[in-house]
Chain A
Amino acid sequence: MTVRLGGGQGFYGDGIGPVADVLDAGVDYLVCEALAELTLAILQKDRMRDESLGYTRDLPLYLRAALPFVLAGKTKFITNAGGINPVAAGRAVMATLKQAGATGLKVATVVGDDVRSRADELELPGDAMFASVYLGAKPIVEALAQGADVVVTGRVADASLFVAPLAHEFGWSWDDWDRLAAGVVIGHLLECSGQVAGGNYSGPWWENPDPTRIGFPIAECEPDGSAVITKPADAGGMVTFDTVREQLLYEVHDPSRYLNPDVVADFTSLTLSDLGGNRVQVTGTRGRPAPETYKGLVCTPVGWAGETRVAYTWPDAEAKARAALRFVRTRAEAAGVPVEEWYEEYFGVNGYGGPTVDIPEGWQPPEVVGRLAWRTQDPESAARPGREVGVLGLSGPPGISGIGRDRGGKPTQLLAVDPFFVDKALVDAQVRVDVEEV
């Protein structure tokens, strides 16, 4: 028995078009992974504006794309779009289904990843805005066992969204470390959508076939944990040894012990075989017992930021840009603005790469964009240095230009998102799978 998984989303705001190709190619599960660390901070800002938000609002788009296949019984839909408010996401799912006139479907919502109310007990900061734990695959398997057609969760670990359908379909036990680790590998390869199919490829990316129609990935998974990673035949992009290994190591830290809530996976144990024709087989993954704790993320407010960008032309573009940013800094400080941190960048010189860039003596770039960012404790102070930028127009170095319409004037709140670890039993006791029917 082969189970086909489709990677339907790699982040909040990802493409929708490629999902149709994945669905047309036929997948047993469409898995939409919507969350990054930064995403949770974005969702926090959403929720501060409106308590009913805090989930990724493109969820209905993905669900609607999948719905004909879900209604036909061909495909089940799994997503962590619930973000920091899975209950609201569950409501959005139900509303979307009702609006589409769908009936006879079971929707499961996984809750319990939020531990903010236990901040004291867990010794988390008192001003925590959210504290979410990365849950594993188990509650999703429970949902699937109850017949769920659609499963929506909060902060479930990315790869676990994919481990769950495999554990459910193949009946993997929770101490079958090698197979669970193989599932984590499959999930990790699919969770970033186009990034395994030629997106962000650091080789000759310009040879990517049909790049504007880059495909999202499909895994053909076997009960022993081996799988072939591929993409819809008609879609663009490419799935090769090179694109797959780049995704495999993406953000994993120590590749010999990639930590997942359900297993520690050893990515150095596996073999990737390029079968040609956009098919890469992965075999031989080994795993070790799961960590004793869950990882969580806690978010706290850490101030406000403002920024400005000014562009100068040749000659002496870098010198002018540096003088201009100094002008703004000095005048803001003279005016008593309580800035706690400044950050300068010079695009066209070394804005990206900083000290890794060799700058030839006497080099004269045709233009330089200077960017100045600053941190303060309150939004009013963060807005203040921007007022000095306009003065440059008539009183600064010669040759200033705007860089389009972006004046960068509006302060943004800065949030720290820091990891913590928590005893699993404490969290498991509050995890719940709610099943509703339409």
Chain B
Amino acid sequence: MTRIQLVDLCGARCGDKGNISDLSLFADDMDAYEVIRSEVTAERVKEHFGSLVDGGVERFEAPNLLALKFVMQDALGGGGPRSLRSDNLGKTHGAALLRLWIDVPDEVAENSKRRGRRAPVER
């Protein structure tokens, strides 16, 4: 097994509805999808977000898109026009999810096309 951060395995997109933060997590192949399906549970996501998310976390599966969906309640400090947070729409929550460390079979880590890929910086 290899311990990797989700950023090296998955993509993510996040959005909001009221005080709900809505996250999607995308794998690139069925093996990686099965890994995140077993590793990235609603409970782990709830624990990972800690004080950022006051309510429950519910998970849905979209195998046709190799994707998991997380719906996090009471997660935006009251929602867009009410929140005191600078990120009142949860636009950074996808990145926050990608920080999660999980254990994956070695070949899943090796096959990940996202592993170690970072944007070049031109200073």
Contact = CB atoms under 8 A, between A and B. Distances in A.
B98 to A, nearest CB: 8
Interface string A188-214: 000000000000111111100000000
Nearest 4 CB-CB pairings of A with B: A355-B50, A41-B81, A251-B15, A343-B84
Interface stretch (A87-95, A387-395, A414-422, A430-438): A414-422
Contacts of B13: 200, 202, 246-247, 249-250
**Most chain B Cβ neighbours within 10 Å, of A256, A416, A419:** A416
B71 A41 contact: no
A269 interface: yes
A36 B62 CA distance: 25
B55 interface: no
A17 interface: no
Contacts of A249: 13, 24, 62, 65, 67, 69
Given A249-B69, A252-B69, A254-B69, A354 B82 contact: no
Interface in B1-60: 11-13, 15-18, 20, 22, 24, 26, 48-52, 60
B22 A242 contact: no
A341 to B, nearest CB: 6
Contact of A37 (B26, B79, B117): B79
Interface size class of B (residues with CB under 8 A): 35 or more
Interface in A350-372: 351-358, 371
A351 B85 CA distance: 9
Contacts of A302: 78, 82
**Most chain B Cβ neighbours within 10 Å, of A250, A355, A374:** A355
Contacts of B98: 202
Nearest to A343: B84
A37 B82 contact: no
Nearest to A418: B18
Majority SS of interface residues in chain B?
mixed
Given A255-B60, A271-B64, A357-B99, A374 B84 contact: yes
Nearest to A352: B92
A318 interface: no
B63 interface: yes
A205 B119 contact: yes
A246 B11 contact: yes
Contacts of B114: 203
A42 B89 CA distance: 14
Contacts of B87: 352
Contacts of B99: 353, 356-358
Interface string B71-98: 1000001111110111111001011111
A187 to B, nearest CB: 16
Contacts of B94: 202
B22 A251 contact: yes
B96 A352 contact: yes
Contacts of A255: 60, 62, 65, 67, 69
B49 A202 contact: no
A353 B67 contact: no
Contacts of A270: 64
